[in-house]
Structure 1
Amino acid sequence: MTQDSKQIVAFVALFGAVITLIEYGSSYPSLIEFRNAPPFNRVRFVSLFLTVFLLSVLFRGQYDETTLTRVVSAIGLLIGHVIDFPYSPVRLIILLLPDADNAQHVALMRAAAGLSYLIALMTLAVFLIAMRLGGWPNKSEPFNFWTNLPTFDPTMGGDIVARLNKDARFNIMLGFFLPFFLPAVARAASGLFDASMVSTPQTLVWMLAIWTFLPASLFMRGIAMNRIADMIDDKRQRGARAVQAGLLAA
């Protein structure tokens, strides 16, 4: 890597850190969703960190092989072989390689794709477990709809529960199809950039990280919005029962 590349990466990282500090330090709505409802964003951050870190370790093994790189490569190859079947997302990723006949590159891409997919699945499992065991979001603390869903306007027509459920289904559906759609888009746009870029480790790490992180994030967002809709509906039903029992004025 050149010195300029290192400086650009450091600048982007510093910019992202400043934006995150400002967003979380504000008392008003921002662009970050569920910022006051942990561990939603914590799980996503750890997921992206692990994906980038382990993929970097995997590709480093091509130049400096260690015990850690061999273990990571073995896990990635195992998962990659399991989910590498015709028309699978892993097979579509492998087809992006400009030298698909090179067995070594194909095995490396299969291991990287399998590793990324495994982390995405584990991310969803961890979030579902945290939501189930921790009662996410915590019922003992108030959930501020305004700050946690700043891009969702509850006043724009229609019942809020129905709209939340509709958006939840859309996010889950998009998260399911995105691993198939992104490789197709990348292949269609391959003529716009140098094909050799796909073979560089830095490009592959971030390409594969985004390929699995975005669908996992959409799945989590859909599950979270469905959970919020259930909370609102449950609160309405409890209020209606209280009115019927004469505990509250209609």
Structure 2
Amino acid sequence: MALLIALPSLILPPTQGHSPELVTLTAILLGCFVFAEYFSTSPSFLEFRDARPMNRCRFAALAVCVFLVSLLTRHEAAPTGLTALTSSLGHLLAQGLDIAFSPVRLVQLVLPPDLSDPAVELARRATAMAYTASLSSVLVFGLIIRTGRWPQRNGPFNVWINLPLFDPTTGGDVVTRLQRDARLHIAGGVLAPFLLPAMVKLGSGSMDPALFANAQLFVWAVTGWAMFPAMMIMRGMARLRVAELIAVQRRSFALDDELQTA
């Protein structure tokens, strides 16, 4: 996690980097937090700690997204062979995803009107690259759920360990609550790519030009816009799966009781 936070600083040219002290402090704090969550007996915030590879999928998707967007941003100031290849791939993705109501089209609607053409193209390519990574992570996790017997292959699923923010003793039936929360997360993840640009448009009319003056801020803004919806959808998918397992276990127990009674 610490390396992920520092990744844009390592890729971007020094003239485009943010304060190294702030980046280092943030990386250390997040690294300590993740270490404490994984090695404590009672987690406080991090979900699905023992239900791998969900968190690994999320981390890998986030790392890939940050890496690719950082390379795209670096290409504008210090091009290399790798950044040129990434930029070409971003161009192809932007051309393919530039359809009505797509994130590539939406980002163009909230860009400052006086933004230069290279900056507009960078925003298009970065958005296309980031959303390709986020959608791929959702598809991969969906395949893991259906073909990899997640989360049973890791042993019994402990709700308290893997869902520390979920209290199964309050609020009604556990399965109903999990399904409701899951559907809300999935719906929110699907709507988020459209709602965030709409909020920007209604609020200030366009993105802050300072976003494009700070390369690291641009990288994290694009990554957050793409990965936040994917994280919500994956969280909803995971909760639906847990609700399904609990329902199956209930039916199994009910059948056993009927057989014993008979």
Instruction: Output the TM-score relative to the length of structure 1.
Output: 0.91
Q: Equivalents in 2 of 1:100, 1:46: separation in Å?
A: 36
Q: Secondary structure at the match of 2:79?
A: coil
Q: Equivalents in 2 of 1:82, 1:205: separation in Å?
A: 21
Q: Equivalents in 2 of 1:194, 1:173: separation in Å?
A: 28
TM superposition shift of 1:23: 1.0
Indicate conservation of the 8 Å contact 1:100/1:106, yes or no: no
- Aligned equivalent of 1:129, options 143, 146, 155: 143
Q: How many residues align?
A: 248
- Counterpart in 1 of 2:185? 171
Q: Equivalents in 2 of 1:4, 1:88: separation in Å?
A: 31
Q: Equivalents in 2 of 1:139, 1:16: separation in Å?
A: 29
- Counterpart in 2 of 1:25? 39
Q: Equivalents in 1 of 2:173, 2:205: separation in Å?
A: 46
Cα separation, partners in 2 of 1:209 and 1:101, compared to 1, 3 Å: closer
2:69 counterpart of 1:45: no
- Aligned equivalent of 1:161, options 175, 186, 194: 175
Cα separation, partners in 2 of 1:69 and 1:96, compared to 1, 3 Å: same
Cα separation, partners in 2 of 1:142 and 1:88, compared to 1, 3 Å: same
Task: After superposition, give the CA deviation of every residue in 1:128-148 in whole Å (9 maximum; x if it has no partner).
Answer: 222222200024611110111
Q: Secondary structure at the match of 1:20?
A: helix
Q: Percent identity?
A: 40
Instruction: Output the TM-score relative to the length of structure 2.
Output: 0.87
- Aligned equivalent of 1:141, options 139, 144, 155: 155
- Counterpart in 1 of 2:245? 231
Indicate conservation of the 8 Å contact 1:43/1:123, yes or no: yes
Q: Equivalents in 1 of 2:207, 2:115: separation in Å?
A: 21
- Counterpart in 2 of 1:183? 197
Indicate conservation of the 8 Å contact 2:52/2:154, yes or no: no
Q: Equivalents in 2 of 1:16, 1:157: separation in Å?
A: 32
Cα separation, partners in 2 of 1:140 and 1:60, compared to 1, 3 Å: closer
Q: Equivalents in 2 of 1:69, 1:8: separation in Å?
A: 26
Alignment of 1:186-205 (within 5 A): 186-190=200-204, 195-205=209-219
Q: Equivalents in 1 of 2:41, 2:140: separation in Å?
A: 28
Task: After superposition, give the CA deviation of every residue in 1:26-84 in whole Å (9 maximum; x if it has no partner).
Answer: 11131000011101111111111111111111111112222211221122122222222
- Aligned equivalent of 1:8, options 22, 37, 54: 22
Q: Equivalents in 1 of 2:77, 2:109: separation in Å?
A: 24
- Unaligned 5+ residue runs, structure 1? none
Q: Equivalents in 2 of 1:52, 1:176: separation in Å?
A: 21
Q: Equivalents in 2 of 1:114, 1:154: separation in Å?
A: 40
- Counterpart in 2 of 1:64? 78
Computed over aligned residues only, the root mean square deviation of the Cα atoms, in angstroms, reads: 2.3
Cα separation, partners in 2 of 1:101 and 1:16, compared to 1, 3 Å: closer
Q: Secondary structure at the match of 2:76?
A: coil
Indicate conservation of the 8 Å contact 2:134/2:227, yes or no: yes
Indicate conservation of the 8 Å contact 1:97/1:199, yes or no: no
Cα separation, partners in 2 of 1:124 and 1:100, compared to 1, 3 Å: farther
Q: Equivalents in 2 of 1:40, 1:19: separation in Å?
A: 18
